[in-house]
Amino acid sequence: MKITILGCYAATPRSFTNPTSQVLEIKNNHFLIDCGEGTQVQLRRNKIKFSKIKHIFISHLHGDHFYGLVGLVSTFRLLNRESELHIYGPKGIKEIITLQLKLANSWTNFPLIFHELTSKDPQLIFENSKVSVTTIPLKHRVYTNGFLFREKEGDRKLLIDKAEEYNIDFALFKSLKKGKDVVSEDGELIPNHLVTDDPVPPKSYAFCSDTVFDPEIVPLIKKVTALYHESTFLEDQAELAFPTKHSTAKQAASIARMAEVQKLILGHYSTRYGKIELFRQEASEIFPNIVLADDGMEIVVE
């Protein structure tokens, strides 16, 4: 599981910082999460192939989270994309994008499929054989969702040497991986656990931005492998966090601690702070395992 941070700063793109966007690589899926202005350039700079992006998740309709979307869709068109593109985001996103394509007389030559979200409860919005994606309802100034990406439990690990030792026919290996007991060529019943190991524990990633401090999300993200939680402010500006419906680094760390996550990734920094290291200092008093996101960073989650 790898997260490439394309942008992780709040409010507006600047000369050297980008608004929110990241690519989650999980079980061979490349999910684009949020798409601030300049995301297509950041994809190029980070050498992520456009054709790998098949699903885009938009948390909310503030500009720093989606103003790059229409440009990316248009560029897909110019590159003669043919494969489906799925966009998941708040109701209204379809009208915004299609209005612009219509006025430019530039309909896409690939299927562009919108999944508009309106539910205030967690909702399964994507599922394939390897991964599921569920919304995490967040509290912000407009309708907002986080997203929980969860690997499904994989096959058991086959111990080839053991399987050969027990004289098990090759044709039964698939059954072994699925956890079944099998009969060897000698007619002996071989319990599964003798020739397989437990599968790699499934990993999970919760993306939570933008949001006010909200312990109601804790049960939804309990024990995830990695949590991205916004920390727009430090505690010195806590009085700004609540009315603007943002969080401080300390609040993000409190959520991480309550949810017992393995790793906390901080981002969505206000550019008023000179050094992002300050966010780590504040959060690490509450929660130990912190990664400070920064534009262009690749975070590999083992």
Residue 285 CB contacts under 8 Å (≥ 6 apart), including other chains: 250, 253
Contact set for a copy of itself, span 181-200 (CB under 8 A): none
User: Where is 29: in which H helix or E strand?
Assistant: strand 29-33
- Burial environment of residue 120 by CB neighbours within 10 A (0 to 12, 13 to 18, 19 or more): exposed
Largest CA distance in the chain: 74
Of residues 34, 64, 169, 198, which has the active-site annotation? 64
| Token duo for residue 165 | 């030792």
β-strands 226-230, 204-208: how paired? parallel
Quote the least distance from Cβ 17 to a copy of itself, whole Å. Answer: 9
Quote the least distance from Cβ 218 to a copy of itself, whole Å. Answer: 27
60 assigned ligand-binding residue: yes
55 assigned ligand-binding residue: no
Active site residue 34: no
Measure the CA–CA gap between 245 and 251, rounded to whole angstroms: 12
Q: Order of strands across the sheet with 144-151? A: 124-127, 131-138, 144-151, 204-208, 226-230, 263-267, 290-292
Measure the CA–CA gap between 104 and 108, rounded to whole angstroms: 11
Q: Is 141 in the site for a copy of itself (CB under 8 A)?
A: yes
Nearer to a copy of itself, 55 or 60 (CB): 60
| Token duo for residue 156 | 């058991």
Q: Is 45 in the site for a copy of itself (CB under 8 A)?
A: yes
Site string for a copy of itself, 65-104 (x = CB under 8 A): --xx-xx--xx--x-----------x-x--xx--xx--xx
Reported as half-sphere exposure (CB side, CA atoms, 13 A), residue 61 has a value of: 17
Q: Is 53 in the site for a copy of itself (CB under 8 A)?
A: no
Q: Is 41 in the site for a copy of itself (CB under 8 A)?
A: yes
Quote the least distance from Cβ 86 to a copy of itself, whole Å. Answer: 20
Question: Residues with catalytic annotation?
Answer: 64
Binding-site positions: 60, 62, 64-65, 140, 210, 268
- Which stretches of the chain bind a copy of itself, using CB under 8 A? 11-15, 37-38, 40-41, 44-45, 61-63, 67-68, 70-71, 74-75, 78, 90, 92, 95-96, 99-100, 103-106, 141-142
